[in-house]
Chains A and B, each alone.
Chain A
């Protein structure tokens, strides 16, 4: 009973968070690297070409996990931003700010790999169908979040404004997910998350899930690195930071 609050309390000090985040980030980074190596082997070598799409289906092993991440990171970011705004927890706002560029990166990856798959399969890089358009809007939401955050000087005001933007944007997430059911899209429907039974073969599901897990670990590794920067910036006048950088060469 008394161990957990004590442990949490120690972690909540910026100095301990800085060190803890560094350690966890390194571990997550190594796990991500190993998983990516395994995922690449299964995805590129040890899986069959699709019976309709041939080897172009291998693009799915990065496209689908990247698209999942684009939505997952957004929900984490909006949640953290809301916690930061409601309870005025600075660490939560810092975590939300750190998530935005990683989420934007995964969204760009999903869009770009989707285009590279669309050209040979659909005959065009881009169509304005519901799935593609709503995913593009997600990219603009991330970029808007980042622009808004850097445009407002005062930290509390920035945290409130970006949290509201992030929360309003949450409405886009179910639109992305259900777009292939609600509208008649060129984009194919879901094959993994179907309620009854996934209509994807196990040999293709394995690399897909490994890559998805790898991207999750990559995100946590990366977002903690970025959160460390936020902490340093906020705490630059504190004695522990000055102690930390004392040996630094100009």
Chain B
């Protein structure tokens, strides 16, 4: 198991690459979901204000 994490001495480069890729994919996954949530909330708020 420790051999697996050691990656033949290239642990830093291999694991940095894989974690960086994971972070990039996650951020890109979250981004549009946050944007859509904010958009829908803003539209709802404007709608309520215009009704008053």
Q: What residues of chain A have their CB less than 8 Å away from a CB belonging to chain B?
A: 40, 44-45, 49, 54-56, 58-59, 62-63, 66, 101-102, 105, 108-109, 112-113, 116-117, 119-120, 218, 222, 225-226, 228-229, 232-233, 236, 241-242, 244-246, 248-250
| Closest 10 pairs (CB-CB, A-B) | A248-B44, A55-B8, A225-B32, A56-B10, A55-B7, A245-B44, A113-B17, A54-B8, A226-B32, A59-B17
Q: How many A-B residue pairs have CB under 8 A?
A: 98
Contacting pair B16 A242 (CB below 8 A): no
Interface of A is mostly: helix
CB-CB under 8 A from B28, the residues of chain A are 101-102, 105, 222
Interface centre among B29, B32, B45, B46 (most CB of A within 10 A): B32
Tell me, rounded to whole Å, the shortest Cβ–Cβ distance linking A22 to chain B. 10
Contacting pair B21 A62 (CB below 8 A): yes
B20 (CB) vs chain A CBs: closest residue:
A112
Q: How far is the CA of A63 from the CA of B18 in the complex (A)?
A: 10
B1-46 CB contacts (< 8 Å) to partner A = 4, 7-10, 13-14, 16-18, 20-21, 24-25, 27-29, 31-33, 35-36, 39-41, 43-46
CB-CB under 8 A from B18, the residues of chain A are 40, 44, 62
Contacting pair A228 B17 (CB below 8 A): no
Size of the B side of the interface (Cβ < 8 Å), in residues, is 31
Contacting pair A242 B20 (CB below 8 A): no
A114 (CB) vs chain B CBs: closest residue:
B17
Q: Can you spell out 17 A-B residue pairs with CB atoms less than 8 angstroms apart? A: A55-B9, A56-B8, A59-B14, A66-B21, A109-B20, A109-B21, A113-B17, A113-B21, A222-B28, A222-B29, A225-B32, A226-B32, A226-B35, A228-B36, A229-B32, A248-B40, A250-B48
Q: How far is the CA of A222 from the CA of B26 in the complex (A)?
A: 11
Interface centre among A44, A109, A229, A250 (most CB of B within 10 A): A229
Contacting pair B43 A232 (CB below 8 A): yes
Q: How far is the CA of A242 from the CA of B40 in the complex (A)?
A: 9
A236/B43 contact (C-beta < 8 A), A54-B8, A108-B24 known: yes
CB-CB under 8 A from B35, the residues of chain A are 226, 229
Tell me, rounded to whole Å, the shortest Cβ–Cβ distance linking A241 to chain B. 6
With beta carbons under 8 angstroms apart, the residue of B14, B20, B45 that contacts A250 is: B45
Q: How far is the CA of A40 from the CA of B17 in the complex (A)?
A: 13
Contacting pair B39 A229 (CB below 8 A): yes
A120/B33 contact (C-beta < 8 A), A109-B24, A245-B44 known: no
Q: How far is the CA of A226 from the CA of B32 in the complex (A)?
A: 5
A58/B39 contact (C-beta < 8 A), A112-B20, A242-B47 known: no
